[in-house]
Structure 1
Amino acid sequence: MRILVVRGGWPGHEPAACTELFIARLRAHGLTADIAETLDAYDDQDRLAAAGLIVQCWTGGRLTEQQERNLVGRVRAGAGFAGWHGGIVATAYESPDYQFMVGGRFVCHPGGFVDYDVKIVAEHPVVHGIDDFSVHTEQYFCHTDPTLEVLATTTFTGDHGAPETAGAVVPVVWLRRFGAGRVFVSTLGHSPADLTVPEVATITERGLLWAAGR
């Protein structure tokens, strides 16, 4: 299977370094990588059609109407779509069909880098054998679709100048069936250091493979 890796956008999320961590893992499963460093990849219908999985790591991007139509249509037709952190939920805010497909969008991360707990809340191969764990990174507060298959959550305390969030349980990892396609999203992964936390690395690798139908 060919995977299309679309990476770029805000450099603070280190899109090249982060995606390289998982390109190597996916190649070990027999997948081949086609790497695009421009959103123009979504204008290429043949390139999209050849991809069984699209991995996006592009924070702050803007899709043209045609790019959105091509991408959403390819996923609905059966391609997987997957990503983490801002590269998938803090981008294409002006594209409602993209937002609907992904199932969530980043709103804020009170306090910046903070300590918080991630709770596993489902039985699924993506999180099998993984216990609740703690991280020190951005705690993403997202608005999410109520129909998602949520695998992990975090609970906000209302600290860090955001008392409105107190007690809010927000998805951290979710899956979504979209037409014939599969969508995997994790809000963890600000940097390579976050993505090499053992639990995060395992969940992300498994989520990418799940989106690929593996």
Structure 2
Amino acid sequence: MRDAIVVRGGWDGHAPVEATERFIPFLRANGFAVEVHHSLEVYADADRMGAADLVLQSWSVGKLSDAEAAGLDAAVRTGTGLAGWHGGIVGAFHNERYQHLTGGVFVHHPAGFVDHTLTVVPTRADHPIVTGIGPVRLHTEKYWVLSDPLNDVLAEVVFDADVTAPWQGRISMPAVWTRRWGAGRVFVSTVGHKVDDLDLPDVRAITERGLLWAARER
């Protein structure tokens, strides 16, 4: 049996408990023992982190200590997977080490919820996380992120030209990506501000596949 740690907390606006509860039965059905933590202190426990095959994190607007950041970094470098969505992973901590690990950080979203489309990058359509996923219509927050060019971007959203904003050109913004971190794998999706975003069949499929992809290979 594989081992998963769910770390959840921080700002309640992203419903970390309700959101992660949607995926715990899935992990158990796929052979994971699941342990839930409502504190970041587990990241500094080298023995516990080293035994984990996957960390599912949903923690927004928090503060990560140096020891916790170092512990999470070390665990992923040696094979523990890290996965999450939306602010629970890219709106989590203003910590340089952590942001290098995740490969991106949230900086802006348009006011309120907006209609937009999540589109798989054509050259990555055969990746197991997004294979068979067509354009996904969303009505939720659309994340503007700063991201690492070394990320493997699987899906994008488009920001149209906006003369009221500092950027004016039409651009495609990474919305789902993976990355390698030493021996570990990292999965990030920017979709999931509200729990019903995660219930959309294609979003659910991407998220579930991302969790399995990130987990340590046995």
TM-score band, normalised by shorter chain: over 0.9
The correspondence of residues 103-182 of structure 1 with structure 2, limited to 5 A, is 103-121=103-121, 122=124, 123-159=126-162, 161-162=164-165, 164=167, 166-182=169-185
What is the aligned partner in structure 2 of residue 87 from structure 1? 88
1:196 to 195, 199, 205: 199
Distance (Å, rounded) in 1 between the aligned partners of 2:178 and 2:38: 25
In the superposition, the TM-score normalised over structure 2's length comes to 0.94
Q: Aligned equivalents of 2:136 and 2:15: distance in 1?
A: 24
Q: Following the alignment from structure 1 to structure 2, what is the Cα–Cα distance between the partners of residues 25 and 165?
A: 42
**2:22 is paired with a residue of what secondary structure?**
helix
Q: TM-score, normalised by structure 1?
A: 0.96
Matched letter for residue 141 of structure 2:
E
Is the contact between residue 10 and residue 58 of structure 1 (CA under 8 Å) also seen in structure 2? yes
Once the two structures are TM-superposed, the CA of residue 61 in structure 1 deviates from its matched residue by 1.1
Tell me the C-alpha RMSD between the 2 structures.
1.4
State the Cα distance separating 1:159 from its structure 2 match.
4.5
Which runs of 4 or more aligned residues in structure 1 lie more than 2 Å from their structure 2 counterparts after TM superposition? 158-163
Q: Which amino acid aligns with 2:93?
A: A
**Aligned residues, how many?**
213
Partner-residue secondary structure (3-state), 1:27: helix
User: How much does 1:43 deviate?
Assistant: 2.1
Q: Which amino acid aligns with 1:143?
A: L
* Distance apart, 1:86 and its partner CA: 0.1
Instruction: Give the fraction of aligned pairs with identical amino acids, expressed as a percent.
Output: 48
CA, structure 1 residues 165+199, in 2 after alignment: closer, same or farther (shift >3 Å)? farther
Q: Where do 1:7-86 residues align within 5 Å? A: 7-86=8-87
Q: Deviations over 1:179-208 (max 9, x none)?
A: 000000000011210100111000000000
